[in-house]
Structure 1
Amino acid sequence: MLRISLAGEEAVLHPSGAMFLPEHHTLLVADAHVGKAVSYRKLGVPVPEATTGATLQALTDALVQTGARRLVFLGDFLHSARSHAPATLAALDGWRDRHATIELTLVRGNHDDRAGDPPARLGIRAVDEPLSLGPFALRHHPEPVGGAYVLAGHWHPCISIRGRAFERLRLPCFWLGDDSGELPPRAVGVLPAFGSFTGMHRIEPGAGDRIFPVAEGVVRALPALPVA
């Protein structure tokens, strides 16, 4: 895990793609897309098995390793209406039973509009964006909010880095816009997609942006581009 300063507070970047805010005992997760694989299989597309289990295990690991008391999903918790498949919901029920004391909140995203809110028995409070938390505005869509630093998802950001023998690696990354001064328009941070079966979108960092790629279970910092 990598500890940084963000909007005047400490933030912990977890190699799963989650962000922990210690002052609020809160873990943030973007784009879990639970039930995406079963949604594809129902359409006849061959996809990997056990992706929901892998995502839920990663959630458990991040909660245990950070000691978070609250978990906020930054949109796209369920992938589609087909994610309400019995086996997927049974896995969610079992996971919730094991984490009954954790407060769960969903900031609705575009996939949540189609999938619908999670079943009430999971005890997940679903709200529209933005959700205020200290100096932060928690959203799904990475769009500015006046007077707050936005933390969002939606874009599934990754960075392209040159590896050995001229190969290029695509690594998921935290993309944190400039948080200096009076919270400029680029005061928006985007978390990598958390789900084990999600795509990635290559980003083009701007001046003042901080990029933290995740590779082999380690979060690293890249040099920020200078501000003109």
Structure 2
Amino acid sequence: MMKSVSVTVKEEVFALWPEKAIHWKRMNALLIADLHIGKINHFRKSGIPVPRKANDHNIEVLVDLIQKIKPLRVICLGDLFHSHYNSEWEVFGEITNHFKAVDFELVLGNHDIMSERQYERKGFRVFDELLLDKFIFTHHPLETVAHDHYNLAGHIHPGVTLRGKGRQSMTLPCFYFGSQQGLLPAFGAFTGLATIQPKKDDQVFVIAENAVMQM
């Protein structure tokens, strides 16, 4: 069974899950970013042979997390749906329909181009950015953050490159926490990675083999 690792940010405890999600314990909120639901279909229509089951996997992982953590709210930090409306949105909508006791909230990302009505009819509350206590939730990382606040964002799909004693190397998804800003890994499959360069006092937690490990 996959286990979480805890990190404290601004005196708040967050559990980092290998499924690429964060549980804000005091608020009982599940934080995810960059699901890109529908991206698999977008690839396939472009002739890229991506397996259809990747869509099902994203949804199954999210359902399992909600059942395991039992959050009061699910907050998506943008790019929930990859493109224009298609049947995958109706499939995903069954999640919000099933978990009626959970509040679903979306901070709009650059790929969230459907009308707000499509999100709202599936039970999502929609925001450009969301402020909760000391934390500002956005899709794109903010350029500046007030000293008494902390920005949590998506969009980047952060990864770190690990190198062995020889020339072998691999880049793995990670959670990143700087002094004023943190980045969530992309929840969805086939989203790619952007290598980050952490500073000395930054905290980085890499995801490998269904585990979260601090570097």
Q: TM-score if structure 2 supplies the norm length?
A: 0.91
Aligned length: 209
Q: Tell me which amino acid in the other structure corresponds to 1:196.
A: A
Q: For residue 40 of structure 1, give the secondary structure of its aligned residue in structure 2.
A: helix
- Contact kept, 8 Å, 1:51 with 1:196, in 2: the verdict is yes
CA distance, structure 2, for counterparts of residue 78 and residue 93 of structure 1: 11
Instruction: Specify the alignment match of 1:138 in structure 2.
Output: 137
Instruction: Specify the alignment match of 1:148 in structure 2.
Output: 149
RMSD of aligned alpha carbons: 1.6
Residues 68-147 of structure 1: pairs in structure 2 closer than 5 A: 68-81=71-84, 84-86=85-87, 88-112=88-112, 114-117=113-116, 118-129=118-129, 131-143=130-142, 144-146=144-146, 147=148
Give the stretch that moved more between structures: 13-22 or 142-151: 142-151
CA distance, structure 2, for counterparts of residue 62 and residue 176 of structure 1: 22
Amino-acid identity (%):
35
- Contact kept, 8 Å, 2:19 with 2:187, in 1: the verdict is yes
Q: For residue 111 of structure 2, give the secondary structure of its aligned residue in structure 1.
A: helix
Runs (4+) off by over 6 Å: none
| Cα shift at 1:165 | 5.2
Equivalent of 2:187, from 186, 194, 218? 194
Q: Tell me which amino acid in the other structure corresponds to 1:139.
A: T
Instruction: Specify the alignment match of 2:176 in structure 1.
Output: 175
- The reply on whether 1:17 has 2:17 as its aligned counterpart is no
Instruction: Specify the alignment match of 2:198 in structure 1.
Output: 205
> Which blocks of at least 5 consecutive residues in structure 2 are unaligned?
none
| Cα shift at 1:156 | 0.2
| Cα shift at 1:52 | 2.1
- Contact kept, 8 Å, 1:150 with 1:188, in 2: the verdict is yes
| Cα shift at 1:101 | 1.5
Q: Tell me which amino acid in the other structure corresponds to 1:152.
A: A
> Which blocks of at least 5 consecutive residues in structure 1 are unaligned?
179-186, 223-228
Give the stretch that moved more between structures: 44-53 or 67-76: 44-53
